[in-house]
Structure 1
Amino acid sequence: MINDDRMSAYSAADWKSKMAYHVIGSAVTPLYFTTPAGAAGATVSIAFGDALQRSVDTWAWTLGNNMKAEADATANAGIAEYYLDANHQMRLMVDSWADGRADIDEDTKSGLKNAILNGHDRGANTTQKYLTDTTN
């Protein structure tokens, strides 16, 4: 779910940067400057909108990348928080189950915690492999 939000933010960033590119670009690309008529009556038109468009290109690209970086930072923090919380909850589960049991000593409890944390890690790694986008 966290990565779904990240991908939605990526799509929004792409859309916003493309809209900015096209809206602003359509306004600046046709810009030109015409010099006043000289003694010979000739004028010179200098197109500068296309040069401005290159700046708009760079700005829109940077805008999209900045929005994606923000989405990455938010998602990465959420994923880290999720795993830290899950690890903490698993330790508590083992502790609460084992506390008060005469047949469970500290070494056994530590081994159970390691086993459940390793299983969680293995499951997360396997899931990531199944969910990895390999179409690119």
Structure 2
Amino acid sequence: MTTTIAYDQLADLAGTDLGHTEYRTVTQDQVNLFADATDDHQWIHVDPARAKDGPFGAPIAHGFLTLSLAVPFWTELLEVKGVSTKVNYGLDKVRFPAPVKVGSRVRMQAVVAEVAEVRGGYQITVDQTIEIEGGAKPAVVARGLYRFYA
């Protein structure tokens, strides 16, 4: 469910649990395209036959591919009205506790940890977790920084 707020309400967002997104399935086509884009064609990602006998029992998504899913997941969690520009400002911390096997379903859960005024806008710090359906550990745990300008 999307949280929709006005720009002038951003300062009050600290501590807000934005909930979960819908699940998305990670496909071999996505993994192959990511491998082409990043020139990372390691067999654990792009060779399903070999990966079947590898350490994970199947091909896995690149950690950075899984992390990049935070971008489309954001559109499901937060909409801020009255902004002229939204900027992904970066990450303070990222970990990849568990691999995502191709065919797995993942979703993101996010909590706004902090909101700070910055020149011309606000920066929100968000604790975001990308979960694997049925998994004991998350795929990604990250602290993201996002800026919103009026």
Q: TM-score, normalised by structure 2?
A: 0.22
Whose strand proportion is higher, 1 or 2?
Answer: 2
Identify the structure with the greater helix proportion: 1
Larger Rg: 1
TM value normalised by structure 1: 0.23
